């Protein structure tokens, strides 16, 4: 309707303008016609009255002539009739001729022209016709017509012209509005369909059914344009933003208008542990926590997680919430309580004995038990309930983390269909053949496809996921846009490489690198100048700790000059220790360290040990001291989604020193090619990399480190989260647009 008014009003104005502009032309034209008519009429009258008038004149009966003229001028248009016998005489006339008409001055009315006279009686037309007779051979008849009817007619004509144009405008408008409405409906339907991602071009049948195949090419172009604009907008925004906690807050309050943000993960960022009669707060060794914690500090949302600490229940309020960080609360943890059986089945069992080895190609067989699966389903449902109860609105943004909660996205979607669920899978996604081992593969996939956005660290993992869906699900896979539509829900599969806080917190960089180097050596009773490589991991079989030890052994075999001059300090945070595979892995790691130390260790001499194994938890401050004090950092994962130790080491080295040795099987290797990239299964290559790292000149260390620091600075963890939130924001804006258009979102 608004569109119609917008169109019709200007049209009416334009046509009224045209009518107004052409009115004078119409006037001139009609005047010309009337003058010509009156000329003809005057000639006719003159001819008609010639004979009787000649008779009267011949008879010399002036009174009769006057009466004759008076009779003729009863005609409403004939104003006056006169007769001039000579140019000296006074005219005989029906009534007083206008003062301008003199017998002596008739010649001017005989010349060609319009013969119009603007007299005090109004506009008049003057015609002079020769009326010779025997008495007056130069006699002339003067016929004066009243022209006021021309003005009346002109007004009438103008009125008609105006009404004609208005009627024309109305007809044109009506036709145009009808056509526009029909087309607009078509367009709207097309646009809605496009915005819903149905895509006319991808569904030609739908376009044909809508009776508008002509829209297909336009739809295609439009769709491409929208996508280009979106990605351009994002790319531009991304590169223009300085990614800090403030930038993230600005996105939340600007693009997302302060919408509800909820993070859900199994692992909690702060664990309250009872030590005697004291309560201690522990930070878990978890890449997930490392990445998300700064985000939550910036966003002040709610983080739902398993309350696993021995004192966790003692510190929560009656809603199971506790503010963290303890020293200055910035957000809330909402704790979910699990029984020992649930934890055993869901966390140790299905998640870590099933999915973990399934997704990591680390040659450990996955174990799938139906009892574990039952717990996994039940615990996922428990988390879903917690999400619903923590949502302040019907459309929160929920960030679901990792393989523990694969069913959660669909469960949330069922309860809160307008929620935007962003799921991030922190571990690798295997190829379809490997994934097919899982007896509940379809349930896992269906669960994940409840997400609006599903993120992986690398494009390779995105590809594997989409291939897996294509193989096992009745879903529509769009490889051009990397979206999967399953049971009417579309999921965008995207690559978001995770990262670390940049710059790192001031307190972990406080101590100068040289001081850290000295302190690390003192702490481990190593001499000054002793060369140190560090390994910092959870004690997990995917981390390649055994392979790292073998590389050290090979280094000392091949380059004995390093014996007693070099040590690998391995910090191994205990993890999942109730799982058999982890227990046996720990035993193997300990045994190998002992064997290598015996082989290259003191042996009667007072030499430092080649491997210093520390199976214990270290806090961030201590870990950064090792990062900053070491000569090199060795990351030898057999398979790893990203590996944040690599990025943390780079972030810690503001002195631009230190060498990173990095497994080619980590996501990080794709972003940090300036590291020494190795195959952890190739022991000789790893030994050579160790030797190279220990002998690398300072200038080369600086050049490599600078490039790596540039990347981590530019692609920090705020950018990781910001990109997901920006994508969620444009998704939400798009669905608002569709809703505003009246269509289903
Ligand atoms: O790498 C996978 C992962 O879940 C990470 O996201 C997390 O950092 C790590 O494992 C910790 O595992 P858990 O929570 O079992 O200690």
Query: Per-residue pLDDT tens for 638-679?
Result: 999 999 999 999 999 999 999 999 999 999 999 999 999 999
Clarify whether residues 437 and 480 are in a common domain: yes
Rounded Cα gap, residues 298 and 301, in angstroms: 9
Which of 389, 426, 435 has its CA nearest to residue 404? Answer: 426
CA of 406 to the centre of ligand 1 (A): 14
Give residue 401's pLDDT: 98
How far is Cα 270 from Cα 289, in angstroms, rounded to an integer? 9
Q: Based on the domain organization, do 317 and 452 belong to the same domain?
A: yes
Best probe residue, ligand 1, of 268, 269, 283, 286 (max atoms within 8 Å of C-beta): 286
Whether 60 maps to a domain, the answer reads yes
Identify whether residues 487 and 515 lie together within a single domain.
Answer: no
pLDDT at 73: 81
Indicate if 432 and 545 belong to the same structural domain. Answer: no
Q: How many domains are there within the chain?
A: 3
What is the C-alpha separation between 89 and 102, in angstroms, rounded? Answer: 9
How far, in Å, is the centroid of ligand 1 from the Cα of 314? 25
User: Which CATH number do you get for residue 395?
Assistant: 3.40.50.2000
The answer to the question of residue 270 being in a domain is: yes
pLDDT at 227: 56
Query: Which of 267, 309, 617, 644 to probe ligand 1 with, by most ligand atoms within 8 A of CB?
Result: 267
Atom of ligand 1 nearest to the CA of 289: 8
672 shares a domain with 526? yes
Give the pLDDT confidence score for residue 202 in this predicted structure: 41
466 and 592 share one domain:
no
CATH number, position 102: 3.30.450.20
For 697, counting Cβ atoms within 10 Å of its Cβ (0-12 exposed, 13-18 middle, 19+ buried), the class is exposed
Whole domain around residue 597: which residue ranges?
Answer: 506-714
Q: Which of 495, 519, 538 finishes a domain?
A: 495
Residue 134 lies in a domain: yes
Cα–Cα nearest to 295, from 242, 252, 238, 239: 252
Instruction: Say how far apart CA 393 and CA 390 lie, in whole Å.
Output: 9
CA of residue 301 to ligand 1 center, whole Å: 21
Residue 130 forms part of a structural domain: yes
**Residue 258: what pLDDT?**
79
In 254-369, where does DSSP find H-type helix? 287-299, 312-315, 340-342, 356-359
Q: Which residues of the chain have pLDDT under 70?
A: 1-9, 11-12, 180-237, 603-605, 741-745
Whole-number pLDDT of residue 391: 96
Task: Tell me, yes or no, whether 430 lies in a domain.
Answer: yes
Judge whether 88 lies within some domain.
yes
Ligand 1, residues 424, 426, 539, 544: which to mutate, most atoms within 8 A of Cβ? Answer: 426
Q: Are residues 47 and 28 in the same domain?
A: yes
* Cα–Cα distance, 282 to 309 (Å, whole number): 9
Q: Identify whether residues 350 and 463 lie together within a single domain.
A: yes
Pocket residues: Cβ below 6 A from ligand 1: 266-267, 284, 286-288, 402, 426-427, 575-576, 641
Residue 732 falls within a domain, yes or no? no
**Same structural domain for residues 519 and 471?**
no
Rounded distance between C-alpha atoms, residue 443 and residue 217, angstroms: 38
**How many other β-carbons are positioned within 10 Å of the β-carbon of residue 505?**
12
- Out of 93, 125, 151, a domain closes at 151
Provide the CB-side half-sphere exposure for 281 (13 A, CA).
11
**Can you name the residues that pair with 568 across neighbouring β-strands?**
533, 611
Q: Is residue 571 part of a domain?
A: yes
Structure tokens at 694: 């220990």
**278/370 same-domain check:** yes
Contact 454, 423 (CB under 8 A): yes
Instruction: Give the per-residue pLDDT at 505.
Output: 93
Do 343 and 434 reside in the same domain of the chain? yes
Residues 288 and 408 in one domain: yes
Which secondary-structure segment (H or E) carries 279? strand 278-282
- What is the token pair recorded at 551? 């590389």
Closest among 484, 304, 334 to 410, alpha carbons compared: 484
Collapsing DSSP to helix, strand or coil, 96 comes out as coil
Span from the CA of 265 to the centroid of ligand 1 (angstroms): 10
Q: Are the C-beta atoms of residues 651 and 684 closer than 8 Å to each other?
A: no
Going from the Cα of 427 to the center of ligand 1, the distance in angstroms, rounded, reads 9
Query: Which run of H or of E encompasses 485?
Result: strand 483-486
């Amino acid at each position: 309707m608004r569109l119609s008014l917008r169109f019709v009003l200007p049209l009416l104005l334009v046509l009224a303008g045209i009518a107004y502009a052409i009115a004078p032309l119409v006037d001139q034209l009609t005047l010309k016609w009337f003058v010509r008519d009156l000329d003809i009429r005057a000639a006719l009258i003159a001819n008609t009255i010639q004979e009787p008038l000649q008779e009267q004149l011949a008879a010399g009966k002036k009174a009769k002539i006057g009466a004759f003229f008076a009779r003729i001028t009863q005609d409403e248009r004939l104003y006056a009739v006169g007769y001039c016998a000579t140019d000296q005489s006074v005219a005989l006339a029906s009534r007083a001729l206008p003062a301008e008409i003199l017998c002596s001055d008739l010649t001017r009315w005989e010349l060609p022209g319009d013969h119009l006279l603007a007299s005090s009686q109004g506009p008049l037309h003057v015609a002079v016709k020769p009326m010779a007779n025997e008495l007056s051979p130069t006699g002339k008849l003067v016929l004066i017509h009243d022209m006021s009817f021309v003005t009346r007619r002109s007004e009438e004509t103008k009125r008609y012209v105006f009404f004609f144009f208005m009627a024309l405008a109305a007809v044109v408008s009506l036709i145009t509005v009808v056509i526009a409405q029909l087309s607009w409906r078509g367009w709207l339907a097309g646009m809605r369909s496009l915005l819903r991602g149905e895509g006319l071009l991808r569904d030609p049948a739908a376009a044909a059914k809508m009776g508008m195949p002509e829209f297909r090419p336009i739809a295609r172009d439009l769709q491409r344009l929208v996508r280009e604009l979106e990605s351009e907008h994002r790319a531009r925004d991304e590169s223009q933003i300085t990614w800090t906690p403030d930038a993230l807050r600005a996105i939340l309050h600007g693009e997302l208008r302060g919408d509800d943000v909820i993070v859900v993960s199994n692992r909690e960022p702060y664990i309250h542990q009872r030590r005697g009669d004291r309560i201690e707060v522990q930070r878990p060794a978890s890449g997930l926590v490392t990445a998300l914690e700064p985000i939550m500090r910036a966003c002040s949302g709610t983080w739902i997680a398993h309350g696993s600490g021995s004192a966790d229940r003692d510190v929560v309020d009656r809603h199971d919430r506790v503010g963290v960080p303890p020293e200055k609360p910035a957000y809330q943890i909402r704790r979910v309580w699990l029984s020992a059986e649930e934890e055993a089945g869901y966390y140790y069992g299905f998640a870590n004995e099933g999915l973990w080895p399934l997704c990591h190609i680390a040659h450990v067989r996955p174990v799938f038990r139906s009892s574990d699966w039952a717990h996994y389903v039940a615990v996922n449902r428990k988390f879903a309930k917690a999400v619903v109860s923590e949502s302040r609105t019907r459309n929160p943004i929920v960030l679901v983390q990792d393989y523990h909660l694969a069913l959660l996205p669909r469960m949330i979607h069922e309860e809160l269909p307008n929620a935007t669920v962003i799921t991030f899978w922190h571990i690798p996604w295997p190829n379809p053949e490997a994934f097919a081992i899982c007896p509940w593969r379809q349930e896992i996939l269906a669960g994940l496809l409840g997400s609006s956005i599903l993120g992986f660290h690398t494009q390779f993992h995105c590809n594997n996921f989409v291939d897996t869906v294509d193989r096992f699900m009745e879903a529509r896979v769009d490889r051009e846009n990397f979206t999967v539509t399953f049971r009417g829900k579309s999921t965008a599969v995207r690559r978001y490489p995770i990262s670390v806080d940049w710059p790192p917190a001031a307190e972990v960089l406080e101590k100068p690198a040289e001081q850290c180097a000295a302190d690390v050596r003192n702490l481990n009773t190593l001499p000054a100048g002793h060369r140190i490589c560090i390994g910092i991991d959870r004690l997990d079989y995917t981390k390649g700790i055994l392979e790292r030890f073998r590389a050290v052994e090979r280094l000392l075999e091949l380059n004995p000059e390093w014996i007693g001059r070099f040590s690998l300090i391995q910090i191994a945070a205990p993890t999942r220790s109730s799982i058999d595979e982890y227990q046996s892995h720990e035993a193997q790691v300990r045994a190998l360290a002992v064997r290598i130390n015996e082989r290259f260790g003191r042996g009667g001499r007072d030499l430092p040990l080649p491997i210093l194994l520390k199976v214990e938890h270290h806090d961030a401050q201590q870990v950064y001291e090792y990062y900053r004090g070491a000569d090199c950092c060795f990351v030898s994962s057999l398979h790893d989604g990203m590996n944040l130790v690599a990025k943390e080491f780079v972030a810690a080295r503001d002195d631009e020193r230190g060498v990173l040795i990095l497994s080619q099987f980590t996501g990080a290797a794709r972003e940090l090619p300036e590291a020494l990239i190795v195959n952890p299964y190739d022991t000789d290559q790893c030994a050579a990399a160790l030797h190279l790292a220990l002998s690398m000149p300072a200038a080369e260390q600086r050049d490599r480190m600078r490039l790596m620091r540039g990347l981590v600075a530019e692609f920090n963890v705020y950018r990781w989260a910001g990109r997901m939130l920006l994508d969620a924001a444009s998704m939400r804006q798009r669905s608002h647009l569709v809703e505003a258009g009246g269509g289903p979102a």
